Structure 1
Amino acid sequence: MKKYALLIMTMLLVGLLAGCGGQQEAKKDLQPLTIGLMPDTDSLPFIIAQEKGYFKEEGLEVNIQQYKSAMDRDSALQSGNLDGAISDMLAVAFAKDGGFNVKVTSFTDGSYKLIASKQSGAKSVADLKGQDVAVSRNTIIEYVTDQILAKENLPEDSINKVIIPQIPTRLEMLQNGKLAAATLPEPMASIAVHNGCTFVTGSDELGINPGVIMFTAKTTNDRRAEIAAMYRAYNKAVDYLNNTPRDEYIDLIVEKGGFPPTAKEALKLPEYHHATLPKESDVVDCVKWLKSKELIKKNYTYADFVVDVLNK
């Protein structure tokens, strides 16, 4: 009987070791992913996952490419230089409408804020009537700006939209008083407020969240294991950011995120969430806005945009 028990234990141990070896072998088989980031708080879980070695723990190599404008990021994605990117519903719709198939795999936790310059004296949306407000054309920034105006029952032409695609340039011009206001992502919005500008309102106050992580359809079809490994590391980074004292990571993310030095004091992080699919209303509202401006031809549905790689 003892011999039989010893044999069973030996077989279980061999099976366990073989299983571990199989998992290690599977990790070795993962192909690298190249991800495009923007200078915003949406990108920070990726930076933490990279710097803390969470991707490596999952047996995955992630090449991070950073961009200052959505146009440059989208061009890199469509030219095949990226597998996926921190992005937004609008960019997804434009890509699909142009015949380039991409898929949303989760939402992000960034926010977008309308900030008035110190020189303008504006404290409300109404105060900005007829004044120069910087946005990036046909992007999440303009979408949020238009949603803010709609909430205040103001037409789009009640402000003078100044098109400034690059986020750092938009921030600099706002702080120098060359604009009455600008719509900015975090942390640039908090930096502007820290330097004397005035917060007016933003996407959090509107209850909208059009920020997403997207991949090419080819990547979501052929690289499910890599994406799953990426999100396991992403979720570890979310836990780290939510549960670690700010002083332990602030220098790292300011340096690696490409933020101005003032971000060290000004940066306010959201409470990050584990990877989750976006709300249907966020997709529907973005498509409705794009259709109203005749920027896309098709009335896309939630299923056209979103693929669930998180529960497979």
Structure 2
Amino acid sequence: MIKRLFLLLALLLIALPASAAGLRLGVLPAADSLVLNVAHDEGLFEAEGLDVDLIPFQSALELGAAMRAGELDGHFGDIINVLMQNESGSPQAIVATTSHSSPQGRCFGLLVSPRSNARTLADLKGSDVAMSSATIIDFLLGRLLEQEGVPPDFLNRQDIRQIPVRLQMLLSGQIECALLPEPLVSVMEARGARTILDDRKLDTPLAVIAFRRTVLDTPDGPETVARFRRALVRAAECINADPAAYREIMKKLRLLPKDADGTYEMVRFDMKNTPAGLPSSDDIKAFAEWMKAQGILKGNPAYEDVVFP
């Protein structure tokens, strides 16, 4: 009888997930970060035996400082941040992609001011464009112009770091155009701005999640990543199945401004590239080469050092 009880207990322990692995993740207020919040709030991480704590940050600068200080186990950001942090002594690797440009939905848009007469990209030649240098915005602006067959200096880049200032200058006509992420594109459209160009044809990873090597390079690292990805996939499936049900959650999390509520097309996950998809070696090479040309990266990062298989 006792042997049977021990056998039953052993079988139960095998069936249960392993003890919860604690992860502190820094998160920025972007639309696709919804998948992390859903996985957390609906117990999908917990169901995989993970204890995930989401730490909100308002800027990539602050988040990067927390990563370098060892205060976080991972973060939600972009490939540029990952490459910069790796080179600055905070080794980490990408474990998931949360947004990837796709024909199915717009993530970034080049907008003209409501006071502008421009109707096409050709009308903007030589105009000032509000952006932030050495960021994903800067990278994507170059890719968009290249896609349209125009030179990198087709627009005059104006480095305006503060997003509220960028928006106000666009609306008032102080700047002719600006490249912005969703849902800010929808906010500006609601206020009269017009989208001239967007990222649907780029086929580029936009936002990723990376874990520190102190998490990955342990015996439990690969299993932790596998569980994390399963929870993200389940969260993405829930959002895709009923996007309208998660609109209110986005508003509560302040990921969807009131101005965009009527026009914003809910974030969707294509399940091929997101959320468990990974950037390709060509993707990493494209970002790294651009960063080296900008003087913000020195080395040639190896793919296996940047992306966790």
Q: Same fold per TM (> 0.5)?
A: yes
Distance 1:245 1:44, change over 3 A: closer
Distance 1:162 1:80 in 2: 34
Structure 1 residue identity aligned to 2:192: G
Matched, 1:126 2:126: no
**Quick check: 55-64 or 230-239, which moved more?**
55-64
Q: Distance in 2 between matches of 1:167 and 1:220?
A: 34
Q: Is the 8 A contact 1:144 1:202 kept in 2?
A: no
CA contact (8 A) 1:60 1:229 kept: yes
Whether the aligned pair in 1 keeps the contact of 2:31 and 2:256 (CA below 8 Å) is no
Partners of 1:195 and 1:143 lie apart in 2 by 26
Q: Which residue of 1 aligns with 2:64?
A: 74
Following superposition, the deviation at residue 69 of structure 1 comes to 2.6
User: Structure 1 length as normaliser, TM-score?
Assistant: 0.84
Distance 1:296 1:22, change over 3 A: same
- The corresponding residue for 2:186 is 190
| Mapped partners of 1:301, 1:203: distance in 2 | 27
Aligned to 1:244: 242
User: How far apart in 1 are the matches of 2:9 and 2:119?
Assistant: 65
| CA-to-aligned-CA distance 1:225-254 (integer Å, 9 cap, x gap) | 4433332221111010110151x2211112
User: Do the aligned partners of 1:106 and 1:275 also contact (CA within 8 Å) in 2?
Assistant: yes
CA distance in 1: counterparts of 2:190 and 2:254, whole angstroms: 18
- 263 and 18 in structure 1: CA distance in 2 versus 1, 3 angstrom threshold: farther
Question: Aligned letter for 1:294?
Answer: G
Q: Secondary structure of 1:238's partner?
A: helix
Residue 307 in 1 paired to residue 308 in 2? yes
The whole-number CA distance in structure 1 between the counterparts of 2:144 and 2:19 is 46
- For residues 162 and 84 of structure 1, the distance between their equivalents in structure 2, rounded to whole angstroms, comes to 32
**Given that residues 39 and 259 in structure 1 are in contact (C-alpha distance below 8 angstroms), is that contact kept between their aligned partners in structure 2?**
no
Q: Secondary structure at the match of 1:291?
A: helix
Equivalent of 1:18 in 2, 10, 35: 10
Residues 92, 103 of structure 1: 8 Å contact kept: yes
Aligned equivalent of 2:200: 204
Name 2:31's counterpart in structure 1: 41
For 1:287, the aligned partner's letter is A
Residue aligned with 2:130, SS: strand
Q: Specify the SS of the correspondent of 1:211.
A: strand
User: Equivalents in 2 of 1:45, 1:94: separation in Å?
Assistant: 25
2:145 matched residue in structure 1: 149
Per the alignment, residue 50 of structure 2 pairs with 60
Shift of 1:141: 0.8
In structure 1, how many angstroms separate the alpha carbons of the residues matched to 2:53 and 2:28?
14
User: In the alignment, what sits opposite 1:4?
Assistant: none
Partner of 2:289: 288
Give, in angstroms, the shift of residue 176 of structure 1: 4.0
Q: How much has 1:46 moved relative to structure 2?
A: 0.6
1:260 and 2:261 are equivalent in the alignment? no
Is the CA contact (8 Å cut-off) linking 1:38 and 1:66 kept in structure 2?
Answer: yes
Q: Which has the higher helix share?
A: 1
Query: What's the CA shift string for 1:203-227, capped at 9, x where partnerless?
Result: 3222222432112222222362443
SS at match of 2:217: helix
CA distance in 2, matches of 1:260, 1:201: 22
Q: How many residues align?
A: 296
Structure with higher Rg: it is 1
Question: Residue 298 of structure 2 aligns to which amino acid in structure 1?
Answer: K
Of 86, 93, 114, 1:103 maps to: 93
CA distance in 2, matches of 1:182, 1:149: 13
1:234-278 deviations in whole A, cap 9, x for unaligned?
1111010110151x2211112214432123223223431241222
Aligned to 1:178, the other structure's residue is in SS state: coil
- Which consecutive unaligned segments of at least 5 residues does structure 2 have? 101-106
CA RMSD of the aligned region, Å?
A: 2.6
Cα offsets for 1:146-205 (capped at 9, x unmatched): 112223343333323222334455344433433222212222222222332111223322
Residue identity (%): 30
CA distance in 2, matches of 1:118, 1:304: 45
Gaps of 5+ in 1: 1-6
User: Aligned residue for 2:103?
Assistant: none
Q: Provide the C-alpha distance between the structure 2 equivalents of 1:154 and 1:271, rounded to a whole number of angstroms.
A: 30
